Amino acid sequence: MFNIERWQEIFEAIAKNKLRTFLTGVSVASGIFILVILLGVGKGLQNGIEKQFEKDAVGIIEVWSGTTTKAFKGMNPGREIQFRNNDYDASVQKFGDLFDKNAAVFRQWGVSIVYGKESGNYQYRGVNPDGLAMENVVVIKGRSLNDNDLIHNEKVAVIGQKVKLDLFKEKNPIGEHVVINNINFKIVGVFTDPGGEREESRVFIPLSTAQQVYGLGDKISNMSYTLKKKDTYEEAVAESEKFKKDLGTLLRGKNNVAPDDEGGVGIFNSVVEVKKFYDLNLYIRLFFWWVGICTIIAGVVGVSNIMMIIVKERTKEIGIRKALGASPISIIVMILHESIFITIISGFIGLLTGLALLELIGPHAQSEYFVNPQVDFGVAISTLIVLVIAGALAGFIPAYRAAKIRPIVALRDE
């Protein structure tokens, strides 16, 4: 129940020790402020990491060919390895049951694309239908590539939003034709990509069409795979690492590359890399919590000290209360009430100041790996719980000592 007399006592005690209470409150407020800022920074780092992995499908495993670095079967290092359709077909035949999506890709940079009087240099990628899904693109106009395009070597293209704006401005490009490296293609779709403008400066065409019209034969640049979801992240990591090893054995064997030559056949497993980044971010956030809580503890010690002084100054008053029948519990509640009040008010000030600073500066303090620093609702609630616990701990020892005071001793106190 609300007890106005108790609140009057609390404010009178604070008024008698304005400077001491203010300095103690500052220490608590600064602790919460630092905790909020650190947690906001941690969230910004997490958002930045998530944004980087938005560029492609989560858990992608990519393999590419390169130059051998080791001699093998009598052949010197320095050989150029070129993947072909049969490499991709062999991987699908052997590991197809593991796949969620899989794609073979041929890519070329600096390709001239012309529409009317407008032109520019972009990247084209010859892909199968899964290739677009694995790039995490979203088709906003028209359609994506399909199996029919691949089977019939259709001269169709899905262009990025940047290409659309450069060549077509506000005009709807669906159904229009562009010239890609001197070959006419019909535009059937426009996509956006969370990776931004750089990722949207691309054009996707059917892989079979690219191989046919540009005289590539059966060459491919790289292959990408995503595996079916597992129940736990640990299972996903273990399966992806086993697949990476087995795929490397298959492709290196087919292309006469030494089993441990990552120059000739390179494989990137983003499942493991994602886990590394998130584990690192977790450790950083736990460290931030630790620093913030240690700072709060320093403030709590200050509150505890001031409550000890207050109990000492009110020894005679406490003795009179006990002589008149006040129970030890009522004495403890009185001291805890005051301690929690000082802690929560100071903490709220620190919390609101930290949130305001993140809101004000956050949008201007962003980079590639640091995006939208903020503190979510759950963390704010956790901080309030920390405040209540801190206030209770700060006042418990002084309150316990006050409850143990014997009335006759207290009344003799000067």
Banded pLDDT at 310 (limits 50, 70, 90): low
Question: What pLDDT is stored for residue 370 in this prediction?
Answer: 64
Q: Beta 99-115 vs 222-227: how paired, if at all?
A: antiparallel
Banded pLDDT at 198 (limits 50, 70, 90): confident
Express each pLDDT in 356-368 by its tens digit.
887 787 666 666 6
**102-106, 158-162, 304-308: segment of lowest average pLDDT:** 304-308
Q: SS3 of 263, please?
A: coil
Which of 180 and 60 is assigned the larger pLDDT? 180
Question: What pLDDT is stored for residue 371 in this prediction?
Answer: 65
Question: What pLDDT is stored for residue 58 in this prediction?
Answer: 56
Which of 204 and 232 is assigned the larger pLDDT? 204
Question: What pLDDT is stored for residue 104 in this prediction?
Answer: 94
Strands (E), 11-143: 60-65, 99-115, 118-127, 138-142
Is residue 281's pLDDT more than 60?
A: yes
Q: How many CA atoms lie within 13 A of 376 on its CB side?
A: 6
Question: What pLDDT is stored for residue 113 in this prediction?
Answer: 94
Question: What pLDDT is stored for residue 56 in this prediction?
Answer: 45
Question: What pLDDT is stored for residue 135 in this prediction?
Answer: 81
Average pLDDT value for residue range 214-234: 87
Banded pLDDT at 1 (limits 50, 70, 90): very low
**84-88, 153-157, 326-330, 374-378: segment of lowest average pLDDT:** 374-378
Q: Measured between alpha carbons, how far is residue 140 from residues 42, 165, 167, 203 in Å?
A: 33, 14, 17, 14
Which of 269 and 344 is assigned the larger pLDDT? 269
Is residue 67's pLDDT more than 90?
A: yes
Express each pLDDT in 9-32 by its tens digit.
666 666 666 776 777 777 777 777
Which of 205 and 308 is assigned the larger pLDDT? 205
Note the pTM of the prediction, 2 decimals: 0.61
Question: What pLDDT is stored for residue 368 in this prediction?
Answer: 60
41/357 Cα distance (integer angstroms): 12
**DSSP assignment string, 168-210:** HTTS--TT-EEEETTEEEEEEEEEE-TT-TTTTSEEEEEHHHH
